[in-house]
Structure 1
Amino acid sequence: MKLSTIALTIMLGLSSSTMAQPKDITIRLVETSDVHGSFFPYNFITRKAKSGSMARVYTLIEELRKKNGKENIYLLDNGDILQGQPISYYYNYVAHEKTNIAASVLNYMGYDAATVGNHDIETGHEVYDKWFKELNFPILGANVIDTKTNKPYILPYYTIRKGNGIKVCVIGMLTPAIPNWLKESIWSGLRFEEMVSCARRTMTEVKAKEKPDVIVGLFHSGWDGGIKTATYDEDASKKVAQEVPGFDVVFFGHDHTPHNSVVKNVSGKDVICLDPANNAQRIAMATLTLRPKTVKGKRRYTLAKATGELVDVKELKADEAFLKHFQSEIDDVKTWSEQVIGKFENTIYTKDSYFGNSAFNDLILDLELEITKADIAFNAPLLFNSSIKAGPVTIADMFNLYKYENNLCTMRLTGKEIRKHLEMSYDLWCNTMKSPDDYLLLLSDTQNDAQRLGFKNFSFNFDSAAGIDYEVDVTKPDGEKVRILRMSNGEPFDENKWYTVAVNSYRANGGGELLTKGAGIPRDSLKSRIVWESPKDQRYYLMEEIKKAGVMNPQPHNNWKFVPEEWTVPAATRDRKLLFGE
């Protein structure tokens, strides 16, 4: 009897002890990235309904908060949010005295932390410094260094503490390739450290000072690839996840490619790696289950289970309260962007640009030459498949004509450098045809890559030229395809002569490496080659030229072509059908 009583007492004691154990806690970390002004389910450029958007993301976030508890949902943005739609341009440069819409939206949605992207930096100090101050949460960038102090210009990391008692530390970083694309005045006083070494140093500090339960990487840098130099990689998220122990989750972006994987780091630990791609079409979500433990009398948590997923929000119902809250901002931008600035007598298409001369690309080249009075102009299609229809042209249409806030520059280049620049462009663009049945274009299985869309390389590096007449022989090897016949005014073209060339500021600063790897100009010499740079963005000047003309009838120049035409014309027809279904 005594033995039974003792056994029962022990069992009850064990039971009560077990019942007193704290339960596991499940948290959800949600990332948006490369939103590019996609705040509302309305496209201010096309003036049509838009899939995705932060209004739809907010619907999902509010559902998660209601279902799981607000304290168990962590919301993070990964940069490139200040550029992409007319509403971004409006708040960056037109109504710049008002709170930036990108701050208003993120604050309303209750974000916990964010990083800065390269297109955010592209807006210039005046815009992004103001935006930083308007956010109600930390903006992170461990490798964005203030050259005066040699310390991070913004917070390197931030530990989020909520009512659940868990400490989640987020380390933010930005691709260090900024100087390859943007002129120094835009990022004056800053330098951008290589990501792996920066992550190691920051991880050591985080573990020592913060002692977090979960460590998250939030990197505006792609998975792998991009620009690779002796000192850094543009896309280093994979490398950091593998080589820097300590991360439980690595959220990344910049490359506009959906990604969901688990990699083992050098210590053998699994790291969840997620990229939701762009334009608020989906979110990346890591679900972590944490087990409580007591360490030196303090409650800590260990990771018991972790999973990652990409959640599509394209067709979710947009949150009505969100839309109502921002209705006046939406109306203001509609009124501004729908102003008519001129008229086109014919419809122009970017897709024509890939197969030869096009009215779309040649209109931009014509306007560049008119604005700068340069001898030659370079330009590439910046959108895969857009058009401006015949009829009234609005401010909104200008974002189809020219996607980015690049400035316009005039540079001094030799004839040889001009040819070599074009050689690299067409090497990125064209296949080397071995038979009439080959592809004309250099294609790849990249349909899910929002920046390549079927091309092997980025089409925004497919420069063609105005001011010269030339042929591109696609049967010749790389580096030998371009033959410049003459200046378009009939004068001879001389490879040893200096010419003035109109380019955008991205290209003038080395973007795409066409002037460095292609033309062979040392990077540190590019600045000295720039004769003039516009004080405002190129889109502004294009718009002013259209206003001045009133009515325009854009036509292709027919100053260059792919040869031999008995091969290239049928191949272009096949490739066009493959890419565009026509």
Structure 2
Amino acid sequence: MPATTKLVLLETSDLHGAVMPLRYADNAKAELGLAKIASLIRQERSKGLPLLLVDNGDLIQGTPFAYYHARMGQMSPNPMVECLNALSYDAAVIGNHEFNYGLPFLQKAIRESSFPWLSANLVRKGTQEPFFGQPYLVKELAGVKVGVLGLTTWYIPNWENPAHIRELDFLDAVDTARRWVRILREEQDVDVVVLSYHGGLERDPETGELTEVETGENQGYRLCMEVEGVDVLLTGHQHRELVAEINGVTVIQPGSAGKLLGKVTLELSRSDSGRWTVTSKRGEWIAAESAEADPGIAELAAACEAETQRWLDTPIGRTTGDMRITDPMQARLSDHPMIEFINRVQMEASGAPISNTALFDNSAKGFGEYVTMRDIVSNYIYPNTLKVIRVSGQDIRDALEVNASYFHVENGEVGVSPAFSNPKPQHYNYDMWEGIEYEFDLSRPVGQRVVKLTQDGKPLHPDASYDVVMNNYRAGGGGNYPMFKGKPVVKDIPTDVSELMANYILERGTVEASLNRNWRTVLPAETR
């Protein structure tokens, strides 16, 4: 056996159903997707080095392609899993969005996989037994034993429909890693320990300073600092493009939607006793834009893709008036017919008198005259369901102050606050409300910007109760809204909001753009 060797670890993460290199809103070409990543994977395999390939989670949800399979094509094998099978993945990790279509859907995908799905800290309720069976993978490469431990953000109960996760408990990722890394090192006698964690970093990798509210959603920094015996941390969830070294642990995160392939190269030497030791590590990512789409993967996805495209372009109704979004910032600075429409759908579906929703992404274009399913899923991109929760007037005011902090004012110009743009854009955490009247004064300090808050012209009483409909993510406190967490659930609407929107249009045939201007922002220039 040689005295030295090299190993390669490859990581995809947060693919979110992206296979083909296109954007479904308009089918424009995009430098992303598993078909492109597949070409990079094949290139790396052709170099002949021992290689281990892992998907780090959030695989089966996120595009119309994935949505169509989940809702209309479940009798067929999961196309994302088929692609990973064809590429000979060694393992995948359970991500938070794996649960979005329910546990049976996820379990079917797992049964169809030729690789194990790992998660040590998602356990059968009331036990310490990993729910998905296999907490780790041990694989020998060129005589080197590599252990890969799967971990998942334990914050999932704050977002997910409780019916989808009622059989599971979610354990702290750091505590779980300590237990299983010891088993890998002492009982499995591995030479290399890799943590594949569907979660991100809660602190700056260089300074160690907190970069977010420490809820436990992201524990990557703590994993590096507090768990002994870790060589590599593969991360995800935050959609960051990251390579770092923390406490001697090489950390990598390859963005989202197949824009990048993560790669870690390990060099090892063997002692006289036969023990392998890591002597150097190098993390990098390879951009999908450098590759052509792999024809084999494109062919595997072709049938589902064709059905998805037909479904997306089926007209379901029309609008009168203008519901187009031409300027995302302006749509967030003042009431907009598209946002009012979504709130109206939510209020009708739930019966709640107050609603909030967000313009999730700057690529949302609103509705033209004729509305298709492509328009709906391009504007409402998440498979959210709705909850009506009972909150106080003070809770609403506190939430509105969080909303108002979305705006950053510098030299009289209004932009997006770094808290909503770093480490990734979080436009989905800025809500706009219907059923109340409110006003933000952006010349005032953050936390003191709500200068008007009424319902039907009367001030909201801080101690009074109000029923509000919002998506399940927000109702659980997701997005830094702790005032909503644990509040009484008055009503649970388990249907996806995109389906509610489609049904609303189908029932009416025509919907009218409306604008009641129940809220506004006062810009700094207006207060001078």
Asked if TM exceeds 0.5, the reply is yes
Distance 1:385 1:327 in 2: 25
Q: Which fold has the larger relative contact order, with Cα–Cα distance below 8 Å and residues 6 or more apart in sequence?
A: 2
User: Shift of residue 227 of structure 1?
Assistant: 4.5
Instruction: Tell me if the contact between 2:40 and 2:261 (Cα under 8 Å) persists in the aligned partners.
Output: no
- Residue 538 of structure 1 aligns with an amino acid whose one-letter code is V
1:248-273 per-residue CA deviation (whole Å, 9 max, x = no partner) reads 11110111111111222xxxxx2211
Change (3 A) 1:421 1:445: closer
Distance 2:430 2:47 in 1: 48
1:72-125 per-residue CA deviation (whole Å, 9 max, x = no partner) reads 121110001121101111222222222222211111111001111111123321
Matching of residue 459 in structure 1 with residue 427 in structure 2: yes
- Residue 348 of structure 1 aligns with an amino acid whose one-letter code is R
- Residue 237 of structure 1 aligns with an amino acid whose one-letter code is G
Matching of residue 334 in structure 1 with residue 309 in structure 2: yes
Q: Aligned with 1:536: secondary structure?
A: coil
- Residue 103 of structure 1 aligns with an amino acid whose one-letter code is V
Distance 2:226 2:387 in 1: 40
The aligned runs of 1:104-183 (5 Å cut-off) are 104-154=82-132, 155-162=134-141, 164-183=142-161
User: Shift of residue 156 of structure 1?
Assistant: 1.4
1:372-427 per-residue CA deviation (whole Å, 9 max, x = no partner) reads 23211111221133213523221122122211111122222333332232223223
Distance 2:357 2:224 in 1: 37
Change (3 A) 1:369 1:389: closer
Identity rate, percent: 27
Residue 412 of structure 2 is matched in structure 1 by 438
Choose 188-197 or 349-358, whichever is displaced more. Answer: 349-358
The aligned runs of 1:193-272 (5 Å cut-off) are 193-224=171-202, 225-229=211-215, 233-264=216-247, 270-272=248-250
Residue 53 of structure 1 is matched in structure 2 by 33
1:487-507 per-residue CA deviation (whole Å, 9 max, x = no partner) reads 35x566555543332211112
The aligned runs of 1:295-444 (5 Å cut-off) are 295=273, 299-345=274-320, 346-349=322-325, 350-427=328-405, 429-431=406-408, 437-444=411-418
Distance 2:453 2:68 in 1: 44
Task: Identify the structure with the greater helix proportion.
Answer: 1
Change (3 A) 1:234 1:380: same
Matching of residue 30 in structure 1 with residue 4 in structure 2: no
Matching of residue 64 in structure 1 with residue 44 in structure 2: yes
Q: Aligned with 2:92: secondary structure?
A: strand
Instruction: Tell me if the contact between 1:31 and 1:76 (Cα under 8 Å) persists in the aligned partners.
Output: yes
Instruction: Tell me if the contact between 1:348 and 1:554 (Cα under 8 Å) persists in the aligned partners.
Output: no
User: Shift of residue 348 of structure 1?
Assistant: 1.9
Residue 518 of structure 2 is matched in structure 1 by 559
1:215-243 per-residue CA deviation (whole Å, 9 max, x = no partner) reads 111011111244524xxx22111221122
User: Shift of residue 445 of structure 1?
Assistant: 9.3
User: Shift of residue 318 of structure 1?
Assistant: 0.6
Q: Aligned with 1:416: secondary structure?
A: helix
Change (3 A) 1:460 1:80: same
Instruction: Tell me if the contact between 2:82 and 2:300 (Cα under 8 Å) persists in the aligned partners.
Output: no
User: Shift of residue 474 of structure 1?
Assistant: 2.3
Distance 1:53 1:388 in 2: 25
Distance 2:396 2:379 in 1: 25
Choose 127-136 or 73-82, whichever is displaced more. Answer: 127-136
Distance 2:470 2:369 in 1: 28
Matching of residue 502 in structure 1 with residue 469 in structure 2: yes
- Residue 244 of structure 2 aligns with an amino acid whose one-letter code is S
Matching of residue 531 in structure 1 with residue 490 in structure 2: yes
Q: Aligned with 2:217: secondary structure?
A: strand
Give me the TM-score of the superposition, normalised by structure 2: 0.91
Instruction: Tell me if the contact between 1:361 and 1:380 (Cα under 8 Å) persists in the aligned partners.
Output: yes
Distance 2:95 2:523 in 1: 43
Change (3 A) 1:443 1:499: closer
Distance 1:565 1:343 in 2: 38
Distance 2:364 2:227 in 1: 42
- Residue 320 of structure 1 aligns with an amino acid whose one-letter code is P
Change (3 A) 1:181 1:227: farther
Q: Aligned with 1:511: secondary structure?
A: coil
- Residue 438 of structure 1 aligns with an amino acid whose one-letter code is G
After superposition, the CA RMSD in angstroms is 2.4
Instruction: Tell me if the contact between 2:70 and 2:105 (Cα under 8 Å) persists in the aligned partners.
Output: yes
The aligned runs of 1:15-26 (5 Å cut-off) are 22=2, 24-26=4-6
- Residue 243 of structure 1 aligns with an amino acid whose one-letter code is E
Distance 1:441 1:67 in 2: 46
Instruction: Tell me if the contact between 1:282 and 1:313 (Cα under 8 Å) persists in the aligned partners.
Output: yes
User: Shift of residue 205 of structure 1?
Assistant: 0.7
Distance 1:151 1:242 in 2: 26
Report how many aligned residue pairs link the two structures: 516
- Residue 536 of structure 1 aligns with an amino acid whose one-letter code is T
Instruction: Tell me if the contact between 1:52 and 1:315 (Cα under 8 Å) persists in the aligned partners.
Output: no
- Residue 281 of structure 2 aligns with an amino acid whose one-letter code is A
Instruction: Tell me if the contact between 2:338 and 2:367 (Cα under 8 Å) persists in the aligned partners.
Output: no
Distance 2:523 2:192 in 1: 60
Distance 1:150 1:352 in 2: 50
Instruction: Tell me if the contact between 1:340 and 1:394 (Cα under 8 Å) persists in the aligned partners.
Output: yes
User: Shift of residue 317 of structure 1?
Assistant: 0.6
- Residue 38 of structure 1 aligns with an amino acid whose one-letter code is A
User: Shift of residue 56 of structure 1?
Assistant: 0.7
User: Shift of residue 448 of structure 1?
Assistant: 7.3
Please list every run of 5 or more consecutive structure 2 residues that lacks an aligned counterpart in the other structure: 203-210
Residue 22 of structure 2 is matched in structure 1 by 42
Instruction: Tell me if the contact between 1:148 and 1:189 (Cα under 8 Å) persists in the aligned partners.
Output: no
Distance 2:397 2:459 in 1: 14
Q: Aligned with 1:305: secondary structure?
A: strand
Q: Aligned with 1:234: secondary structure?
A: coil
Larger radius of gyration: 1
Q: Aligned with 2:76: secondary structure?
A: coil
Give me the TM-score of the superposition, normalised by structure 1: 0.83
Distance 2:439 2:297 in 1: 54
User: Shift of residue 555 of structure 1?
Assistant: 4.1
Q: Aligned with 1:396: secondary structure?
A: helix
Please list every run of 5 or more consecutive structure 1 residues that lacks an aligned counterpart in the other structure: 1-20, 265-269, 453-457, 571-582
Q: Aligned with 1:136: secondary structure?
A: coil
User: Shift of residue 157 of structure 1?
Assistant: 0.9
User: Shift of residue 153 of structure 1?
Assistant: 1.2
Distance 2:523 2:306 in 1: 52
Q: Aligned with 1:353: secondary structure?
A: helix
- Residue 223 of structure 1 aligns with an amino acid whose one-letter code is L
Distance 1:532 1:511 in 2: 18
Distance 1:508 1:447 in 2: 22
